[in-house]
Amino acid sequence: MSDEFGDFEAFLGNLKPGRKATLGGTLRYHEGADPNDWSYPGGNKYVPHDYMILVGSHKWTGAAATSGATEVTFPAVFSGEPVVIVGVASTTPLFRDCRCQAPPSSGAAFEIYWFSALALTQVIFHWLAVGPVGV
């Protein structure tokens, strides 16, 4: 029996999260200027053939401040710049208005720039990134 399944065992040994299963069909179109750089605006419409969705949480802490920046490294690398959506989950002190933006800097990371009218010592961000599958 081991002779019959030798190739299958080798196949299982090479599996890695997110590398073999595609999400084709769930995202119908991508609109922008480039099929691989999803963060660049434009009017062209593309049918994505393979992409990945990454999500996470990131915490900034520091001395009391009304603005700041922090870098987030993706847990997997995109082959081009993804679309990144970021929101503020909580602040310290609690319930303070905090605004943020997150321009992608590469397929491997992005930066969050934030501003608040009142000084904060901690901000927790939740983020979602969608873009072309990396290597």
| pLDDT tens-digit profile, the chain (135 residues) | 444 555 666 766 666 665 445 555 578 888 999 988 898 899 999 888 788 999 999 999 999 999 999 999 999 999 999 999 999 999 999 999 999 999 888 999 999 999 999 999 999 999 999 999 887
Type of residue at 13: G
Distance of CA 9 to the CA centre of its chain: 32
Is residue 89 within 8 Å of residue 57, measured between CB atoms?
yes
Burial of 11 (0-12, 13-18, 19+ CB in 10 A): exposed
**What gap in Å lies between CA 135 and CA 76, rounded to an integer?**
9
Kindly state the tokens that stand for 65: 């401040």
**Under CATH, which number does the domain 6-132 receive?**
2.60.40.2080
Q: Report how far residue 51's alpha carbon sits from residue 21's, in angstroms, rounded to the nearest whole number.
A: 10
Tell me how far the alpha carbon of residue 77 is from its chain's centroid: 9
The one-character DSSP state at 104 is: B
